[in-house]
Amino acid sequence: MKPSSWSELLIATLLVFLAIFIPLISNGYWLSIAVTAMMYIALSTSWALFSGPTHYISLATGAFYGVGGYLVGTGMSDYQLSFWLMLAIGPIVAALLALLIGIATLRLSGVYFVIFTLGLAEMIRNLVSWVQNNFLGSRGLYVFTDFRDQHIYWMLLSVAALVYLFGWIINRSRLGFALRIIGNDETVARHVGINTAWAKVILFTSTGFFAALVGAILAPRWSYIEPNIVFSPQLSFLVVIMALLGGSGRLWGPLVGVIPFTILWELTSIQFPNQSTLVLGIAFLLIVYVLPKGIVGRLEQLRAKTQRGHHE
């Protein structure tokens, strides 16, 4: 992932300011789309913080998202704790979980890491279901708040802005530089004295924290929560597709992929509900064969080619 500039931070600040007013000019269906898009912007950007520079494809987003949402449901439904308290606890628990998982697994690489993270959400979902069925005596949890879609949207916007600012700082730091070296050649990174394991663990932990924070914020939108809802492997795939489609080489790249794909996904789910898996497959093929560096990467290649043509 290339370092972010001050001009990019300024543009991002302007976009955040403009995005604040979206709930004031839209309602109903399009506000619901805006909430979903903002959710994926936050998740895809946080995913790109780790996977962008390291080139490690993580499919663990659904696991951490589910931890955040499920803990909010458990705390509010079973123990009558406040939403805000659980909103603080959920991401911390997920970050600790990501830390332990990162320490245990980030020495893996390539397809082994992908397979492990793919199975993580399913393992946690089954474990939570087993505990709930055998010890808690119920399958569902109820989350009732006074929040409406616009409130959830503004909270997600705040998280997305926080993720971007965090990524902007990391990209310009020594840790960001170390991660870029790891992405280019991890063996070289180790030889020049970079603690590659801990550099990866730190960023992996941050993605777990932000994913759980998003899951916790979305819990009131579900109202009724069960493991099959919040621990969704499909969510992990959608986050990866949106980030790669936009381009994970830039911190703002996922934004370019999230907005059009969210609209496409919503339209497909409504009009052709049985063809959603086909859309995922086509999207993966498009990324691999046509846009391996995403839309942003492709545009940068075309711009570089045009500039070379002008110099010649």
Predicted local confidence at residue 70, as pLDDT: 93
Q: How far is CA 243 from the centre of its chain?
A: 8
Tokens of 152: 């959830």
CB 254 within 8 A of CB 206: no
Predicted local confidence at residue 240, as pLDDT: 94
Helix, strand, coil % over all residues of the chain, rounded to 5: 80, 0, 20
| Three-class DSSP category at 225 | strand
Parts of the chain with a pLDDT under 50: none
Alpha-carbon distance values, 70 to 24, 137, 212 (Å):
30, 16, 9
Predicted local confidence at residue 305, as pLDDT: 78
Could you tell me which residues come within 8 angstroms of residue 124 by beta carbon, excluding any fewer than 6 positions away? 63, 66, 67, 231
Phi-psi region of 272 (alpha: psi -120 to 50; beta: other; left: phi over 0): beta
Alpha-carbon distance values, 133 to 60, 136, 178, 229 (Å):
24, 6, 45, 15
Predicted local confidence at residue 61, as pLDDT: 94
Q: Give the integer Cα–Cα distance in Å for 196 and 14.
A: 35
- H/E stretch holding 163 reads helix 149-171
CB 47 within 8 A of CB 98: no
How many residues in total does the chain contain?
Answer: 312
Predicted local confidence at residue 141, as pLDDT: 85
Residue 144: other Cβ atoms inside 10 A: 11
> What are the structural domain ranges in the chain?
6-233
Beta bridge partners of 142: 224
Predicted local confidence at residue 310, as pLDDT: 62
Query: Of 227, 228, 233, 60, nearest to 128 (Cα)?
Result: 227
CB 251 within 8 A of CB 48: yes
